[in-house]
Amino acid sequence: MSVLLALVASGLVGCGLYMVLSRHVVRMVLGLSLLTTAVNLVLFLTGRVRSTQPPLIREGSERLGDSADPLPQALVLTAIVIGFALTVILAVLTLRAWRAQGTVRSDELRAARALGDPSTPEPGGDR
Amino acid sequence: MIADVLRDGLALWPVATPLAAAALATLLHRRPALQRAVMEAAVALTLVAAALLLAHAARGERLVMAFGGWGAPFGVTFVAERLGAALCTTAAAIAVAVAIFARADVRARRRRAGFDPLFLGMLASVNGAFLTGDLFNLYVWFELMLATALGLMTLDRRRAQIDGALRYAAMSMMGATFILVGIGLLYGAVGTLDMADLSRAIAGRAPSVTLTTAGYLLLAGLLLKSGVFPFFFWLPASYHTAPIGVAAALAGLLTKVAFYACLRVLVLVFGVGASAPAVSGMPPLLALLAALTMLVSVLAAIAQVDVRRVLAFHVMGQVAYLVMGLALASSLGTAAAIFYTMHTMLVQTGLFLGAGAIARAGGGYDLRAAGGLIREHPFFAALFATLALSISGVPPLSGFWAKALVIDAAVRARLPWSWWLIAIALVTGFLTLYSMSTLWTQAFWRPPKRRERRARPIPPAMVAAVALMAACTLGLGLAIEPAVRLSRAAARELAPEPPRQRRPPDVPPALPPARGAP
Residue B412 · residue B332 · CB < 8 Å: yes
Beta bridge partners of B64: B79
Distance of CA B272 to the CA centre of its chain: 20
**B306 vs B9, higher pLDDT:** B306
Band (B501; pLDDT cuts 50, 70, 90) = very low
First to last CA, chain A: 71
Residue B290 · residue B267 · CB < 8 Å: no
CB-closest option in A35, A90, A109 to B177? A35
**B503 vs B153, higher pLDDT:** B153
Best interface-test mutation with B: which of A18, A44, A73, A86 has the largest number of B CBs within 10 A?
A: A86
**B402 vs B11, higher pLDDT:** B402
Which positions in chain A touch B154 (Cβ < 8 Å)?
93, 96
Distance of CA B275 to the CA centre of its chain: 27
pLDDT, mean of residues B329-336:
92
pLDDT of B507 higher than 60: no
Q: What is the pLDDT of residues B233-281, one digit of tens each?
A: 889 889 999 999 999 999 999 999 999 999 999 998 888 877 777 888 8
Q: Residue A46 and residue B305: Cβ atoms within 8 Å?
A: no
Q: What is the pLDDT of residues B428-454, one digit of tens each?
A: 999 999 999 999 999 998 888 776 677
pLDDT of A84 higher than 60: yes
Question: Out of A7-11, B232-236, B300-304, which region has the weakest mean confidence (pLDDT)?
Answer: B232-236
Q: Which amino acid is at B238?
A: S
pLDDT, mean of residues B140-151:
95
User: CA B318, CA B341: separation in Å to the nearest integer?
Assistant: 9
- CA distances in angstroms from B330 to A31, A37, B102, B319, B417, listed in the order given: 40, 38, 40, 18, 14
User: CA B348, CA B247: separation in Å to the nearest integer?
Assistant: 10
User: CA A64, CA A53: separation in Å to the nearest integer?
Assistant: 10
Beta bridge partners of A105: A24
**In this predicted structure, what is the pLDDT of residue B1?**
59
Band (A72; pLDDT cuts 50, 70, 90) = confident
**In this predicted structure, what is the pLDDT of residue B20?**
95
pTM of the model: 0.92
In chain B, what are the domain boundaries?
281-494
Band (B131; pLDDT cuts 50, 70, 90) = very high
Q: Residue B162 and residue A100: Cβ atoms within 8 Å?
A: yes
Contacts of B236 (CB under 8 A, 6+ apart): B300, B309, B312, B313, B316
Which positions in chain B touch A114 (Cβ < 8 Å)?
160
| CA nearest neighbour of B252 among B179, B326, B311, B297 | B311
**In this predicted structure, what is the pLDDT of residue B121?**
96
**In this predicted structure, what is the pLDDT of residue B515?**
43
pLDDT over 70 for what percent of chain B? 94
- What is the interface pTM, i.e. ipTM, of the complex? 0.91
Residue B103 · residue B461 · CB < 8 Å: yes
Band (A125; pLDDT cuts 50, 70, 90) = very low
Q: What is the pLDDT of residues B193-215, one digit of tens each?
A: 899 889 888 887 888 898 999 99
**In this predicted structure, what is the pLDDT of residue B451?**
66
Q: Which residues of B175-206 are buried (b: 16+ CB within 10 A; e: fewer)?
A: bbbbbbbbbbbbbbbbebbbbbbbbbbbbbbe
* Helices H / strands E in chain B, number of each: 21, 2
Domains of chain A: residue spans and CATH: 2-49+68-108 (1.10.287.3510)
User: CA B291, CA B223: separation in Å to the nearest integer?
Assistant: 14
Q: Residue A89 and residue B177: Cβ atoms within 8 Å?
A: no
**In this predicted structure, what is the pLDDT of residue B216?**
94
CB-closest option in B160, B184, B368 to A112? B160
